[in-house]
Structure 1
Amino acid sequence: MTLTLEEEEVIEILEEGRMKDIEECSQSLIGKFLTCKPFNKKVAQNTLRRAWGLTEELQIVEVGSNLFQFKFKSEFELERVFKGGPWTFDNQALMLRRWEPRMTATNVMFETIAMWIQIWDAPFDMKSPIVAAEIGKRLGEVVEVEKRRSQDT
């Protein structure tokens, strides 16, 4: 069944009655696990709550196929989790992005994901943050380079 142009009606919804819902959404992240294989969603949710240190303060709502809304009680906790990644469960990366107005399960887009990169067996003269940053730039945006730890012998 399809409506004709004459039958279509625009229904205006005012924000004033929805302020609590808008505030809840503004303190939320939308997340998707980078996997096609099935996984135990309850275990994933409980694992993330513990990893983030938010066993009671975090509401997790499944909003689509493998798509979750993480509702935080504070902006501080949201930022801590968002910037503290990358996060994984069962070796599957969790892509996160901030909620935006008009976002739906069908139009949410994940364009980037932060990843930790390790370089093994590099020559001794190339084990430096400068070399690591140069290699990282070839892969994408470099967020941070871990400083080399001195090893006592």
Structure 2
Amino acid sequence: MAKGNNVAPHSPLEIATCLSLDHKLAMNSNLLGPKSDDVVCLEAEDVRARIENCSKSLIGRLMADRGFSGGTMDAAFGAIWNHPEGLRVKAHGDNVFQFFFNDESDLIRVEKGSPWLFKQFVIHLKRWNASRKIEDEDFTLIPIWVQMWGMPEFCKTKEVARKIGERPSDLEKSLMLLLFQ
């Protein structure tokens, strides 16, 4: 790309997305500073290690009315998850965290256990996705299991469960109110 071309600025995630597809990307010099007219071209190899690192991470938002630090989350979830080797936590603001794992089996175990509770607050975790910005992730829907007690044996069918699950409940309405306060 020629010097001085008008290239839209990209976030680091957009850069990583393009580069993970082994495409060259020219960045506008606005990322480098206001005085430079140079265009910087990056190759996939320039960020490959970081993309591989992020591919073994989960992101999530703690649904809490107060902020928590990355250090707090690192210590707490390290203990909750039985100290997975190499666990690291990065805070992205607004109680959004990225959890990095060394071992894919630890990541899968934690991901399958989501949502998790911390101090009575829910955190739902999703696998990091190079095609989406972390700040654009939607954490408003959280899958939960509901256990029904006292149902007659003849009502324990998939069709009955589906019909009960489709019916809006007071719990669902309460949860919606809590999430959007």
Give me the TM-score of the superposition, normalised by structure 2.
0.60
Q: RCO higher in 1 or 2 (8 Å CA, sep ≥ 6)?
A: 1
Distance 1:89 1:82, change over 3 A: same
- Structure 2 counterpart SS, 1:61: strand
Deviation of 1:138 (Å) = 4.3
Given candidates 142, 147, 150, the residue that maps to 1:113 is 142
- Structure 1 counterpart SS, 2:148: coil
Q: Residue 58 of structure 2 corresponds to which residue in structure 1? A: 29
User: Aligned equivalents of 2:98 and 2:88: distance in 1?
Assistant: 8
For the 8 Å contact 2:85–2:101, the answer to whether it is kept is no
Distance 1:7 1:18, change over 3 A: closer
Given candidates 103, 107, 112, the residue that maps to 1:78 is 107
- Structure 2 counterpart SS, 1:69: strand
1:135 and 2:164 are equivalent in the alignment: yes
- Structure 2 counterpart SS, 1:106: helix
Aligned ranges 1:41-80 → 2 under 5 Å: 42-54=71-83, 56-80=85-109
Q: Which amino acid aligns with 1:99?
A: W
Q: 128-137 vs 111-120, which deviates more?
A: 128-137
Identity of aligned residues (%): 31
Aligned ranges 1:90-105 → 2 under 5 Å: 90-105=119-134
- Structure 1 counterpart SS, 2:117: strand
- Considering fraction of residues, name the structure with more helix: 2
Unaligned runs of 5+ in 1: 1-5, 140-153
Deviation of 1:71 (Å) = 0.4
For the 8 Å contact 2:115–2:125, the answer to whether it is kept is no
Distance 1:98 1:55, change over 3 A: closer
Distance 1:95 1:86, change over 3 A: closer
Give me the TM-score of the superposition, normalised by structure 1.
0.69
- Structure 2 counterpart SS, 1:53: coil
- Structure 2 counterpart SS, 1:97: strand
Q: Residue 44 of structure 2 corresponds to which residue in structure 1? A: 15
Cα deviations by residue, 1:79-108 (Å, 9 ceiling, x for unpaired):
111012221111211021111115434322
Distance 1:51 1:13, change over 3 A: same
Unaligned runs of 5+ in 2: 8-25, 28-40, 169-181
Distance 1:40 1:107, change over 3 A: closer
